Amino acid sequence: MDTAGSLKRRSRATVSAAYAAQGFGYAVVVTSLPGLKDRQGIDDTAIALIVLLVCVTAAAGSVLADLIATRAGSRAALVTGLALEVGGIAIVAADAPLWLFIAGFAVYGSGLGAVDAAGAMQGVLVQRAYGRDLMGGFFAAYTAAAIFGALAVAGAAAVGWGVSAALVVVIVVAAFVAGCGLVWFDRSRAGEERHVAARTPLPRRGIWLFGFVILAAFTLDSGVSTWSTVYLQDDLVAAAVIAPLGYAAYQVAILLTRLATDRIVGRWGAGPVVMGSTVISLAGLIVVAALPFVAAAVLGFALAGVAVGALVPLAFTSAGQLAPLRSDQIIARVNLFNYAGAVLGAVVIGLLADVPGLPLAFLIPAVLLLPVLLLARRFRAAAGRQDAVAATTAGASADR
């Protein structure tokens, strides 16, 4: 017979697996784009439009997760998102006509957004049950799996497997996690006391504040992911074997930060972690902009990853604490800023690549990070489920 403790541990492990499946799948998809481009006979412009399509449909998927979670809980929303990813990637992996290939990316994008949002909903529920921060660990699973996903695509190419080989692995992994999640994802609801939740207004100011933090973090993430290798190879004339090291150092810094975040927050609190990580990343971006040397750029990109590693899990944790009985809806709305940041980082920095140039363009994320320093005191560590619900219930009763 399962005890409450064993069920809690299984929920934590399965939610970690969902984050890992998401990171692995996304990394495989984006690193497979060159091979898919050649297979379908399309150009870079078409690939850029497909990436934009994924961002737009991901935003719709986040809204879908909100609707499903409100009616059936975030467990159902997360399983649905994983199922959409499986279906979309299956279409992309097949040698399908172009229109169906594009439709597959639209389906995948909707699943991507639903898993992003519902995964965060589940993460907040699990860490609420534990009464301590766990979100850094969930995102660490995502980052580690993303690194493995990129290596898997490289390995598949090295042994001569087709572009679809790694995508098939993604399908198997996501389907397996979805099946396990039907049983072991957290079954509780953020707003089980529906009469109380209905009287609790959405904290719109908090949604915008933490949404801005997510936007700043993903503008940085998208900018470094898209342009760091280009900058090292084209502007600094780094060898082809050296140019990817900036992005690799960035991802390693994110992973190490996320592995440490939960423990550091438990010791020092969320606010100091936000302040420290933001200052470190600002320094990194300034190094990239000011010092046109390969070693300086690699170091700068690594330092820039610290803020992304800490801010994303802490922003979702703090957003979930704004009104615990409505945390699913709040997280779905905050998650929408993710995709705005992704487009902003890739597009705006790219538009500035020629004038004034990529070094100064990397200061765009720095400008967005500056206000985060003023918001550090708004961040909160995870709270126990019963304490959070009791506080919200008491507040709602006082309002009546």
Per-residue pLDDT tens digits for 253-280 = 999 999 999 999 999 999 999 999 999 9
73 sits in the region (left: phi over 0; alpha: psi -120 to 50; else beta) called: left
Share above pLDDT 70 across residues of the chain, in percent, rounded to a whole number: 92
Output b/e per residue, 321-335; b: 16+ Cβ within 10 A: bbbbbbbbbbbbbbb
* Mean pLDDT within 335-362: 89
Q: What is the pLDDT of residue 254?
A: 96
pLDDT digits (tens, 9 = 90+) for 110-143: 999 999 999 999 999 999 999 988 999 999 999 9
As a whole number of Å, the CA-based R_g of the chain is 21
**Range with the largest mean pLDDT of 67-71, 186-190, 235-239, 345-349:** 67-71
Burial of 370 (0-12, 13-18, 19+ CB in 10 A): exposed
pLDDT at 196 over 60: no
Helix (H) or strand (E) holding 149: helix 135-158
CA distance 12 to 132: 12
Q: How many residues does the chain have?
A: 400
CA distance 114 to 61: 4
Mean pLDDT of the chain: 89
Mean pLDDT of 218-222: 95
- The residue behind tokens 């760091």 is 228
Higher pLDDT, 197 or 106: 106
Taking the C-alpha atoms of residue 145 and residue 24, their distance in angstroms, rounded to an integer, is: 5
Average pLDDT over residues 30-38: 86
In this structure, what DSSP letter does residue 355 have? I
| Cβ count within 10 A of residue 364 | 18
For residue 179, the Cα-to-chain-centroid distance in whole angstroms is 22
- Is the pLDDT at 394 greater than 50? The verdict is no
If you average pLDDT over residues 329-348, what whole number do you get? 93
CA angle 22, 233, 362 (to 5 degrees): 65
pLDDT at 33: 86
In this predicted structure, what is the pLDDT of residue 41?
Answer: 92
The residue with greater pLDDT, 137 or 193, is 137
Asked if pLDDT for residue 195 goes beyond 60, the answer is no
Whether the bond between 356 and the residue before it is cis, its omega within 30 degrees of 0, is: yes
Q: What is the DSSP letter of 322?
A: T
Type of residue at 336: L
pLDDT band at 32 (very low <50, low <70, confident <90, very high): confident
Residue 386 has pLDDT above 50, yes or no: no
pLDDT tier for residue 22 given thresholds of 50, 70 and 90: very high
Q: What is the structure's pLDDT at 387?
A: 47
The model's pTM: 0.87
Measure the N-to-C terminal CA separation of the chain; round to a whole number of Å. Answer: 42
pLDDT band of 1, cuts 50, 70, 90: low
CA–CA distance, 100 with 86 (Å, rounded to integer) = 15
> 198 pLDDT band (50/70/90 cuts)?
low
What is the structure's pLDDT at 230?
85
304 burial via Cβ count (<10 Å: 0-12, 13-18, 19+)? buried
